[in-house]
Structure 1
Amino acid sequence: MLRRLPRALPRLPPAAAAARSVVTAVPLAHVEVGDRGDRPPVVLLHGLFGSHGNFSTVAKTLVRRGSVKAGADTRCPEPRRQPPQPADDLRSHEPGCAAPPDPPGHHQVHPPGTQHGGQDGHDAGLAADLVERLISVDISPVSSTPVSEFSAYISAMKLVKIPDGLSRSAARQLADDQLRPVVQLPQLRQFLLTNLVEVEGHYTWRVNLEAISHHLADIMNFPVFHEPYPGPALFLGGSNSPYISSKDYPEIQRLFPKADVQYIKGAGHIVHQDKFEDFITAVLNFLPPP
């Protein structure tokens, strides 16, 4: 199950909210790698605190080894009243903007013709006409709140203080030192630090921490669906991560009757970073042959 999470927006006064009510979904900004040919594209959707750069090496490797076309999304920042719909994302798969992305959901990969279901109100079966098969990377179709440490990470990021005038490398090192007591895994800190940007001489986070924090319960929750997704599905987890648990198997089986669950030994939540070659192998083994 590949999630697209609601856009986290700050609260608006009534007049502004009414004006925004006419805003519709924006095109999906993305980066394309390789030539499509006659095969459906592989669509990769990054996760919370992520950007298209997280999957750029994965996309290039899949193109080189799997003879496919890959694209990574970079969410446009224009506000919208309603969260993006999964069908909108694929049907409007065209360049939209080049601004820094705001945060969508969890780490995920979408193999040929693949798309996410749920988290924004669609039944999984609704994706069947667009999605040939799908992979969920280290996430289950259940609430992630009991196992998530994102609330602590957000609090730590809010407390980071960086003086003006530092070089980018010095700023990253200082932020890394300040995050270390809470975010103990070095690779996870480096992932979060990809969001540290310099704007007019000041260092700030490009993700909206206040909005994410305010809506974190909604982001980590998962709605109730009734119609299953009929295509092949792979739930690919890290053996050191709690995000795909045996307790989730009944719900995975209910919503994805053709699903297989696999774990990559030694990988945490950021599976493709921890065990890159094993991750690529698992994805290519799941894709149909060229």
Structure 2
Amino acid sequence: MLRCLRRIRPPCGPRAASGSSAAPPAPLPLSYMVFDGPALQPPLVFLHGLLGSKGNFRAIARALVQRSGRKVLTVDARNHGESPHSPVMSYEAMSLDVQRLLRQLHLPKCVLVGHSMGGKTAMTLALQQPDLVERLVSVDISPTESVTVTDFQAYIAAMRRVSIPARIPRSTARRLAEDQLSPVVQVSAVRQFLLTNLVESEGRYTWRVNLEAISHHLAKIMGFPVFHAPYPGPTLFLAGSDSPYISSEDYPEIERLFPEAEIQYIPGAGHWVHADKSQEFITAICNFLLVP
């Protein structure tokens, strides 16, 4: 019997990114969901991508509990979902947030699985605190700059321009928002993904993601901190064959920072690998966990 428990809560410290002398940002209490499993091995912790939320991995989490027996957590990053907003948005800050959550839940080790922005957060945490990470999975992202392969700057600008009248039915508000997004966000599945962030409060519609902070720090989010010491544990870079986010140009930096890495491409999948090819994604994770 699977149990999905939802909590929002707030104790926590790193092997810092090279060249960083500023005081580390204060970690935030993250919102998360727990999918219980009977196995005693370290749990899987899923970190979503930019403009996503912990709900993106709900079906994947349930399937992985059934296949692996391991407990699975899905987590909202700062400025996303039900987690707190902050003007600070960096991989060092998001890594500290997750470290705080792991210590709060008394988890000495975990398997980190991060998609896109969540993948860079997971890599940062593994490079800062390798003892906390049993294994690492980076989904369709490398430890390099992503500016040239992303449309998120245009998506965020389009979301910030959306204007919806107050006190109208949610279905009407969603349709109006989609109509306003469609000239820029032409793929329907991507529009539906962005619209998961549309929420209503006291009759007014707004975006639950902190678009101002994300927009202000977008260049930092598209980049990656500088590290010298590698993460020595087993690592899987799981990419979509139809996505440009991990290319052969990234291989040297992947090998430098993650010497035990393997790189796998799922045929027919784009950037949202887990949504495009969910069964193949689940099987790849289970194979990496050595699940029989």
* TM-score after normalising by structure 2: 0.79
Shift of 1:90: 2.2
Name the CA distance, whole Å, in 2 between partners of 1:66 and 1:174: 42
Deviation string 1:153-198 (CA, Å, 9 cap, x unpaired) is 0111112122223221222122112211111111111110000011
The residue identity in structure 1 corresponding to 2:93 is P
Instruction: Report the Cα distance in structure 2 between the residues aligned to 1:92 and 1:78, rounded to whole angstroms.
Output: 20
Kept after mapping to 1: 8 A contact 2:137/2:238: yes
CA–CA separation in structure 2 for the residues paired with 1:79 and 1:272: 28
The 1:79/1:154 distance shift into structure 2, 3 A limit, reads closer
1:84-121 per-residue CA deviation (whole Å, 9 max, x = no partner) reads: 42533422348xxxxxxxxx9835579xxxx8232xxx
Aligned residue pairs, count? 253
1:70 aligns with 2:72: yes
Aligned counterpart, 2:8: none
CA distance in 2, matches of 1:136, 1:29: 21
Corresponding residue for 1:90?
102
Farther-moved stretch of structure 1 (68-77 vs 159-168): 159-168
When structure 1 is superposed on structure 2, of 262-271 and 159-168 the one drifting more is 159-168
Contact kept in structure 1, 2:50 and 2:118, CA below 8 Å: no
Deviations for 1:132-173, whole angstroms, at most 9, x for unmatched residues? 111000110001112111110011111212222322122212
* Structure 2: segments with no counterpart, 5+ residues: 1-22, 78-82, 107-113
Aligned residue number for residue 42 of structure 1: 44
- Residue 88 of structure 1 aligns to which amino acid in structure 2? R
Is residue 235–residue 258 contact of structure 2 (8 Å, CA) maintained in 1? yes
Matches within 5 A, 1:204-283: 204-283=206-285
C-alpha RMSD of the superposition: 2.5
- Cα separation, 2, equivalents of 1:175 and 1:70: 33
Q: Which residue of 1 aligns with 2:186?
A: 184
Q: Using the TM superposition, give the Cα deviation of residue 79 of structure 1 relative to its aligned residue in structure 2, in angstroms.
A: 4.2
User: Which stretch shows the higher mean deviation, 134-143 or 237-246?
Assistant: 237-246
- In 2, Cα distance between equivalents of 1:41 and 1:230: 19
Q: Which protein is richer in strand relative to its size?
A: 2
1:36–1:69: 8 Å Cα contact kept in structure 2?
A: yes
Question: 2:93 aligns to what SS in structure 1?
Answer: coil
Q: Say if 1:142 and 1:221, in contact at 8 Å, map to a contact too.
A: yes
Letter in 1 for 2:135: R
Q: Which has the higher contact order (CA 8 A, sep 6+)?
A: 1
> In structure 2, do the counterparts of structure 1 residues 23 and 237 end up closer, same or farther at CA, with 3 Å as the change threshold?
closer
Contact 2:123 2:143 in 1 (8 A): no
Task: Specify the code of the residue in structure 2 equivalent to 1:126.
Answer: Q
* Paired residue secondary structure (1:117): helix
What are the Cα deviations for residues 239-287 of structure 1, in whole angstroms up to 9, with x where unaligned?
Answer: 1111111110100011111111111111111111111111111111111
Is this contact kept in 2: 1:137–1:235, CA < 8 A? yes
Range that drifts further, 48-57 or 164-173: 164-173
Q: Normalising to structure 1: TM-score of the pair?
A: 0.80
Q: How does 1:149-168 map to 2 (within 5 A)?
A: 149-168=151-170
- The secondary structure found in structure 1 opposite 2:149 is coil
Q: Report if the CA contact (8 A) 1:117-1:127 is conserved.
A: no
**Displacement, 1:39?**
1.3
Change beyond 3 A, Cα 1:93–1:28:
farther
Which secondary structure state, in structure 1, belongs to the residue aligned with residue 45 of structure 2?
Answer: strand
**Structure 2 CA distance for aligned equivalents of residues 22 and 34 of structure 1:** 32
Q: Say yes or no: does 1:203 pair with 2:213.
A: no
User: Are the counterparts in 1 of residues 145 and 224 from structure 2 also a CA contact under 8 Å?
Assistant: yes
Which is helix-richer, 1 or 2? Answer: 2
Q: Is the 8 A contact 1:29 1:93 kept in 2?
A: no
Alignment correspondent of 1:132: 134
The residue type equivalent to 1:148 in the other structure is T
1:116 to 115, 122, 127: 122
